[in-house]
Amino acid sequence: MKAGQLWRKGREMLAPSPDADWDARQLLCDELGIERTQLAMHLFAEVDEAAEAAFLAAVRRRAAGEPLQYIRGRADFGGVTLRVDERVLIPRQDTESLALAALAHLAILHGEESPKQILDLCTGSGAVIIDIAKTCETEDFAYAAADISGDALCLARENARQNGVKVEFWQGDLFAAVPKGRRFDIITCNPPYLSRADMEDLQNEVRREPALALYGGEDGLDFYRRLAREAMEYLRPGGYLILEIGSTQAAAVRQIFSAWNTQVFQDLNGLDRVVAADLYGKGEGGAAWST
């Protein structure tokens, strides 16, 4: 069968999904070993039986609700490509706002006492810390990350190696993973923040992602309460705690951090997505962002 015919068959199998065309194209290009933009040049090429069978099997997995990123085994995030599977939450564009906020605050701190120490909690696939490290590419910064899941850390370590960045990885529950005496200039975290009601209303494909990385307690705010209590012991003077939040959680999270200076930043869709908090009066660090 020709590639164009196979693409059409994949679209038909995935209909009526609004993403049928996109998903079929991505999966077909993977099997053909080409970039998505090159498909037009291969539409009349014959596809061998093995590639055809692999493509149709991948389409059936997608039609059954398996996330595209798990089927492909990878996801793009910021400036890096990461391996992903069922061990980790799929990195999403919303979370790129967390990495960007951290980079903006690092730009403020750069040039002061070095090296700067950056920690990413609930790291999952390592997306945030790896993107930050890959973007900075400087010996002035040292990078560390932690997660409660050993399976997630295995994948995060692999992603760091594949992207050529040096990150220390620790296993444990939030700050319980951090070696005694370590303090940081920037601590990022994309904690589980879905409420019980959110979990009951999840899309089917999101239900395939690890609940450990999604559920944040009855009201979704349990981890923010813990971070507000514990983080100050791990921040250097002038340091920032930078957190992803649900788009309706800004007021509640700011209330939890009422003893801190806080700012709220929006994602590319104009939704509240990040809270930056500090204890030392440097709230101007996010001046380049909308509040």
Query: Domain for residue 128, yes or no?
Result: yes
| Beta-sheet strands, E only, within the chain | 74-77, 80-83, 116-121, 141-147, 168-171, 184-189, 235-244, 261-266, 272-278
Q: Are residues 221 and 107 in the same domain?
A: yes
Domain range holding 16? 3-64
- What average pLDDT does this structure show over 47-72? 96
Among 18, 36, 64, where does a domain finish? 64
Separation of alpha carbons 41 and 67, rounded Å: 27
User: Is it the case that residue 188 has pLDDT exceeding 60?
Assistant: yes
Q: How far apart are the first and last CA of the chain?
A: 54
My answer on whether 47 and 178 are in the same domain is no
Identify whether residues 180 and 87 lie together within a single domain: yes
Task: Express as a percent the part of the chain with pLDDT over 70.
Answer: 94
pLDDT of residue 111: 61
Q: Would the pLDDT of 252 be above 50?
A: yes
Asked whether the beta carbons of 129 and 162 are under 8 A apart, the reply is: no
Least confident of 96-105, 137-146, 217-226: 137-146
| Mean pLDDT taken over the chain | 93
Q: Confidence band (pLDDT; 50, 70, 90) for 288? A: very low
Q: Is 126 left (phi over 0), alpha (psi -120 to 50) or beta?
A: left
**Pairing, β 80-83 against β 74-77:** antiparallel
Residue 70 lies in a domain: no
Q: What's the pLDDT score for residue 287?
A: 34
pTM score, two decimals?
Answer: 0.91
Residue 227 has pLDDT above 60, yes or no: yes
In a domain, 52, yes or no: yes
User: Are residues 200 and 102 located together in one domain of the fold?
Assistant: yes
pLDDT-based confidence at residue 284 (cuts at 50, 70, 90): very low
d(CA 134, CA 111): 19
The number of domains in the chain is 2
